[in-house]
Amino acid sequence: MTPQNGPDSVVAALAASARSALDAARVAMRDVAAAGLSAPGPLDHETGVVLTTQNIEGFVDADFPIAARLAGELDGPPVFLDRDTVMAAIGEGTIGAAQGIRDFVYLTVSTGVGGAIVSGGRMIRGATNTAGELGHFPVGFDTNVRCRCRSYGCVEAYASGRNLAEAFGVADASIVYAKAAAGDARAIVLIGRAEAALASLAVGIVNALNPERIVVGGSIAEHEPAHVLAPMRQAIAERAFKVPAAAVSVVPSALRGDVSIIGSALAARDRANGEGRWFL
């Protein structure tokens, strides 16, 4: 679990994890050329600074130089930072389900819902490096369905594992899916809302961004594809503009649970070599 008592504790935990992994692999720190670090945004991937995050206590309005701090703690390689979903897209675009694809969207449906957008072979960053926050695309008008971003009607408010579990009053979204499969009426309604939210998001992605591929990862997408990928595909076929709908495929992540870790390693390798400009 990520420590929730401030950035110093997070850095210490990251350093301890890195040392443990190197010990297990019998690799010395001096032999590591670069390290990759993925984190929730907003952040500055060029300077390695976390600007703020809504999910980790102590990082609110932090402007915390986490890459430099971690590099100092490790006393070794440079550390390269980027958003977790961007790192996932780098992994899928380099060696995964979007390899060789110049226009694709990576979407994660897990504890939260997020994404990254690649268009014309370039990562889309936006004016403040927050482009791709697809989980906070509004798809509903019910002001009672509040999101942690302080808005309402976001895809994440309906479809994230955390929000599904909270809405049903249990510890994990897997229980909600199991209850729905067993015929629980309230669980069926909640899962139906999540499917509808993801379906509308998929139509919006296709109509607005015209990707060749939508790669869907995250634990919920991996374990409940009939409730994630299937409604997205159906909605695109039935509701999206016909020309872009005919060009797009919705596929599962090839790198699965390791997608951000693999993407972080690939990003660190390329940035240390002065390469990988497509995703900067």
For the stretch 173-185, pLDDT in tens is 999 999 999 999 9
Is 56's pLDDT higher than 80? no
CA dist 20 → 15, 26, 169, 269 (Å): 9, 10, 36, 20
Residue 62 confidence (pLDDT) above 80: no
Average of per-residue pLDDT across 276-280: 82
Residue 218 has pLDDT above 90, yes or no: yes
State the pLDDT confidence band at 7, using cuts at 50, 70 and 90: confident
Residue 61 confidence (pLDDT): 62
Instruction: State residue 3's pLDDT score.
Output: 64
Q: What confidence score (pLDDT) does residue 267 get? A: 96
**What's the mean pLDDT in 132-147?**
93
Cα separation of 135 and 201, whole Å?
9
Question: Locate tokens 């390269």: which residue?
Answer: 80
Query: In 3D, which of 200, 253, 187 has the Cα closest to residue 222?
Result: 253
* Residue 89 DSSP SS3: helix
Q: Could you tell me the pTM of the whole model?
A: 0.94
pLDDT value at position 280? Answer: 81
> Span 232-251, mean pLDDT?
98
- The answer to whether domain 7-86+259-279 has CATH 3.30.420.40 is yes
Q: Could you tell me which residues are beta bridge partners of residue 64?
A: 50
Q: Which amino acid is at 35?
A: A
Neighbours of 122 (CB within 10 A): 14
All CATH 3.30.420.40 domain ranges of the chain, comma separated, are 7-86+259-279, 99-253
- Per-residue pLDDT tens over the stretch 113-125: 999 999 999 999 9
Q: Work out the average pLDDT over 154-175.
A: 97
- Report the percentage of the chain scoring pLDDT > 70: 96
> CA distances (Å), 276 to each of 67, 106, 227, 272, in order?
18, 18, 35, 9
What are the tokens at 29? 């720190």
CA atoms within 13 A on the CB side of 223: 13
User: Mean pLDDT over residues 2-25, rounded?
Assistant: 87
Longest dimension (CA), the chain: 57
Which CATH superfamily, name and number, covers 99-253? ATPase, nucleotide binding domain (3.30.420.40)
Kindly tell me if the per-residue pLDDT of 128 is higher than 70: yes
Query: What are 106's strand-pairing partners?
Result: 116, 215
pLDDT band at 48 (very low <50, low <70, confident <90, very high): very high
Residue 219 has pLDDT above 80, yes or no: yes
CA 124 to mean position of chain CA atoms: 15
- If you search the block for the tokens 């309402």, which residue do you land on? 152
Q: What confidence score (pLDDT) does residue 54 get?
A: 67
